Structure 1
Amino acid sequence: MIFKSEIFDKLQFLFETYKFNDHNLHCIIHFDGNINKIALKKALAMTLDVVPILSSKYVENIKEPRWEKVDSSSFKDILTFTNTKSEFDTFMTSRTNEATGPQVKACLLSSTKDSLCILMNHMICDAAGFKDYLYLLCSLYSNLLKNSDYTINYLLNGNRSINVVNKQFNFKDKFKALMFQGKESNGFINLNFPMSTAKEVQPFILTHEIPQDRFLSIKKYCKNRKVTINDVTLTAFYRALYKILNKNRLSISVAVDMRKYLKNKNINALTNLSATVISNLTLEPNDTFDDTTKKVNDDMNLKKKNFIGLNAFVKISLLFKLFNYKHVKKLLKNGFKNPQIGMTNIGILDSKKLCFKGTQIINAYTFGSMKYKPYFQLALTSYNNIMTFTVNLYGNSKDKENIENFFILLDSELPK
């Protein structure tokens, strides 16, 4: 069985090639007890059959890259077990291997309170698709606990093309987005988050948790001012950067889930349908948090009124339509430009869907790829009204220190 390599499959592959990120998605789940190992292993194996592209290998060095199906029974390491936190942490920063498959793997840290890490190749899907996968895994696990002979008779194997979004717009809308919204996707101010220049680096993941009571206060602030969690987080991000960089003209790349434009959200496929837009802001020394929030909210609302994210989708579609893959690789190699500071709001992990029958979850969070210097991305997820920030990077102890200090600043800026 052959699967077409879609535009964002190719882009994510090239992001690793040109050292933007290592194209892996991550989920960490901390349990208040023990999970059933047999049911978990069986559920993970079943996902390879429900989502057949997960048990495929990526063939890239040909005229047109593609995915080729591999017998899922040949994969022996989809789930590993450890009793050692250091081994679990090492797994968290490891990678899937797109050239051999499988495109998803997991590790369970066994203790009095288990922890589970799930990795998926970002070439397969974005964070929203990853959440769909996690909900599927939970459903399979919970059903297997009720009936060890449980089987499933449907496939998640629909259309993975970004054209499912593009076709929602007419030619006029796409032309306007292309001609008049260019700054949305590439009009960024070239800024660097402070990073060490040492060449010896190791991948690491740092997290910062906002507890329930504080998160509920932030939500109340949003409700009272008719702004979003995304607006408020972006505001705190800007204000922290202002203090770190001592510059008032700032720019942050923000991820946008383009599924918002689909009339039918059930596309029955794991795929990448995320764009990025550039937020530019000028901060004044006497700006209050409310002042900055209003600037952010006004900027984002204006983008939303003009089909936020469409410019990026039109551009990337044209690029792959006008040029063959080999030529696109050369273009990106010579002119690869990405904003160096970004944010992705992965949003809510639904506690009613992300649940493993019989074992309570203390907290869960997802985040994207490990970034290479000089790229820096803040990710945020909430589960059961606990918000978790993550930053992941190939760096060293000095970089860790800088990021920890950033988290302190970010936290201090958020509404109390």
Structure 2
Amino acid sequence: MYYRGEVLDFVNMLLTADAAPLMRSRLVFSSKIDIERLKAAVLASAQVVPEIFGRYQADHNRFEVLAQQPDDIVIEAQSPYSPENFDFDFKTGPQLRLFVIHHDQYDVLQAFMSHLLADSVGFKEYLYLLAKAYNYDDLSTVTNERRLRPVITQLQRQFSRPHPHADLPMNTVKLPHYQGINLRHIGHIMLTSKQFMRVRQVAKAQDVGISEAILAAYAKALQVLTGHTTITLPCPIDFRHFTPADETKTRVTNLTGTVYLNIKIDVDAPFAALVQHVHDLLSAERDRAAFLYRLTNLQKMNHTMPIGLMRKMTRRWVAQQPLSYTNFGVIDQQRLQFHGLTVVNCVFSGAFRENPLMEIAASTFAGTCTLSFNSIGSERDYQLGMKILENIQAQLLVWSQTSIVTAPAQPVQVANQAH
């Protein structure tokens, strides 16, 4: 059985041509999970999202499902097994792998999903669906909406006259790459629930988003490290926010676009001014709605052009950025309940990128925010990544101690902003 891919699936295939396009989550349970029940849940969820068993055919932008064998997805192992070293190939195997790592008194579930099938929000949606199936909830009325066309229609109603796309000059910063034995590293750092509560309070007082604050701290960390004062960072935009929610539908699909922010850093200005600058840049990008212009054209290409020509055209429009950011957002504890189990901790992260490429991911569970990266590189490369995370954490914590947020005295300059 074949299932047609959407244009953003194809875009993610191009952007991750040199590495497996992974997303990773790690769930720590309070006790042991029922393996047979988990396998049954995988089969039940496949009635809604059959593509999890499919192999991706890049030459046709589609998923081919030959069989639905839960043993192909659910893999058991004993601690200290590291599934990160598994040979993921989504062009020959399923788009989902669930590793149950057995410890003495409890289990850890590490879930890996292909970015060809879904974005970060879609990955969360699938895990919520899996939990429902594990709980024997009725999934007969649930459908998976993967089509991009209804989203574009809604976007066109809200942005009736999008500006033509104009590429901003990129001020791409590249990290150094240190020689050594290349290994897979997992780096993370946490803001405790108390610390993150303060960050949220200050963000609310300044009327900015948490992602905008993290991006500002990311840019500041890179400025401190490299000396560059103008840095381009990609910022994800979830198109689900522009369409009404439907409880009978899940969206295990790619519905996230990217805008590029040219962030100008005044080394003498307070961090609050930099956060405001990032907020203004993102607001301007949303108003321009250039992402809709690009999205509409990609959609037309997906239905009219041969794959080979589409690949050539898309590569001109969409460039792989060495530094990226993804936000998994808040993990809904109520929707991530598995019968008889308590999820003690849950962290999401992005793909393993080979240094000097780097992707920072943010996710929030039980009020605690985790910043993470997965990398392939030397020990010094890993230490550099940790240094960036620690700098981001420090910037946010200092900002969170601001008792009274005031607007900057002078308007912040918007760097290279096209209108």
TM-score under structure 1 length normalisation: 0.86
CA distance in 1, matches of 2:175, 2:268: 23
1:142 counterpart = 2:135: yes
Per-residue CA deviations over 1:162-215 (Å, capped at 9, x if unaligned) read: 2222112449946633x2x424xx5421211233256x5333321112111111
C-alpha contact (below 8 Å) 1:96/1:103 kept by paired residues: no
Greater mean alpha carbon deviation, residues 369-378 or residues 2-11 = 369-378
C-alpha deviation, 1:346, in angstroms: 1.4
C-alpha contact (below 8 Å) 2:155/2:292 kept by paired residues: no
3-state DSSP class of the match of 1:382?
A: strand
CA distance in 2, matches of 1:156, 1:101: 23
C-alpha change, 1:374 and 1:39, in structure 2 (3 Å) is: same
Greater mean alpha carbon deviation, residues 105-114 or residues 315-324 = 315-324
Q: What is the 5 A alignment of 1:3-402?
A: 3-17=3-17, 19=18, 21-61=19-59, 64-73=60-69, 75-85=70-80, 87=81, 89=82, 91-94=83-86, 96-111=88-103, 112-143=105-136, 152-154=139-141, 156-158=143-145, 160-170=146-156, 173=159, 176-177=162-163, 179=164, 181-183=165-167, 187-196=169-178, 201-265=182-246, 267-307=249-289, 309-320=291-302, 323-331=305-313, 337-402=319-384
C-alpha change, 1:332 and 1:386, in structure 2 (3 Å) is: same
C-alpha contact (below 8 Å) 1:56/1:68 kept by paired residues: yes
C-alpha contact (below 8 Å) 1:165/1:258 kept by paired residues: yes
C-alpha contact (below 8 Å) 1:50/1:154 kept by paired residues: no
CA distance in 2, matches of 1:290, 1:171: 34
3-state DSSP class of the match of 2:296?
A: helix
Per-residue CA deviations over 1:360-403 (Å, capped at 9, x if unaligned) read: 22221222222234422111000110111111222221211111
C-alpha deviation, 1:29, in angstroms: 0.8
C-alpha change, 1:384 and 1:308, in structure 2 (3 Å) is: farther
C-alpha change, 1:300 and 1:336, in structure 2 (3 Å) is: closer
C-alpha deviation, 1:152, in angstroms: 4.2
CA distance in 2, matches of 1:2, 1:252: 36
C-alpha change, 1:377 and 1:130, in structure 2 (3 Å) is: same
3-state DSSP class of the match of 2:258?
A: strand
C-alpha contact (below 8 Å) 2:203/2:209 kept by paired residues: yes
C-alpha contact (below 8 Å) 1:96/1:121 kept by paired residues: no
Unpaired stretches in structure 2, ≥5 consecutive residues: 401-419
Q: What is the total number of aligned residue pairs between the two structures?
A: 396
C-alpha contact (below 8 Å) 1:52/1:157 kept by paired residues: no
3-state DSSP class of the match of 1:176?
A: coil
CA distance in 2, matches of 1:161, 1:26: 24
C-alpha change, 1:414 and 1:169, in structure 2 (3 Å) is: closer
3-state DSSP class of the match of 1:392?
A: strand
C-alpha contact (below 8 Å) 1:256/1:309 kept by paired residues: no
C-alpha deviation, 1:154, in angstroms: 4.2
Per-residue CA deviations over 1:95-122 (Å, capped at 9, x if unaligned) read: 5433343221111121223211011111
C-alpha contact (below 8 Å) 2:186/2:372 kept by paired residues: yes
C-alpha contact (below 8 Å) 2:15/2:319 kept by paired residues: no
Greater mean alpha carbon deviation, residues 5-14 or residues 383-392 = 5-14
Per-residue CA deviations over 1:32-62 (Å, capped at 9, x if unaligned) read: 333333322322232223311222233334x
CA distance in 2, matches of 1:299, 1:333: 25
The residue aligned with 2:406 is none
Q: CA RMSD in A?
A: 2.6
C-alpha deviation, 1:3, in angstroms: 1.0
C-alpha deviation, 1:277, in angstroms: 0.7
CA distance in 2, matches of 1:334, 1:261: 27
CA distance in 1, matches of 2:360, 2:160: 30
C-alpha contact (below 8 Å) 1:275/1:312 kept by paired residues: no
3-state DSSP class of the match of 1:117?
A: strand
C-alpha contact (below 8 Å) 2:355/2:381 kept by paired residues: no
Per-residue CA deviations over 1:305-350 (Å, capped at 9, x if unaligned) read: 3347424423433554564211233455688622222211110010
3-state DSSP class of the match of 1:125?
A: coil
CA distance in 1, matches of 2:158, 2:77: 56
C-alpha deviation, 1:236, in angstroms: 1.3
1:412 pairs, out of 360, 382, 394, with 394
The residue aligned with 1:147 is none
3-state DSSP class of the match of 1:26?
A: strand
C-alpha contact (below 8 Å) 1:26/1:92 kept by paired residues: no
The residue aligned with 1:146 is none
Greater mean alpha carbon deviation, residues 343-352 or residues 51-60 = 51-60
C-alpha deviation, 1:216, in angstroms: 0.9
C-alpha change, 1:182 and 1:265, in structure 2 (3 Å) is: farther
The residue aligned with 2:404 is none
Unpaired stretches in structure 1, ≥5 consecutive residues: 144-149
C-alpha deviation, 1:156, in angstroms: 3.2
C-alpha contact (below 8 Å) 1:7/1:320 kept by paired residues: yes
Greater mean alpha carbon deviation, residues 230-239 or residues 314-323 = 314-323
CA distance in 2, matches of 1:65, 1:237: 34
TM-score under structure 2 length normalisation: 0.86
CA distance in 1, matches of 2:157, 2:87: 40
C-alpha change, 1:65 and 1:279, in structure 2 (3 Å) is: closer
C-alpha contact (below 8 Å) 2:351/2:359 kept by paired residues: no
3-state DSSP class of the match of 2:339?
A: coil
C-alpha deviation, 1:270, in angstroms: 2.0
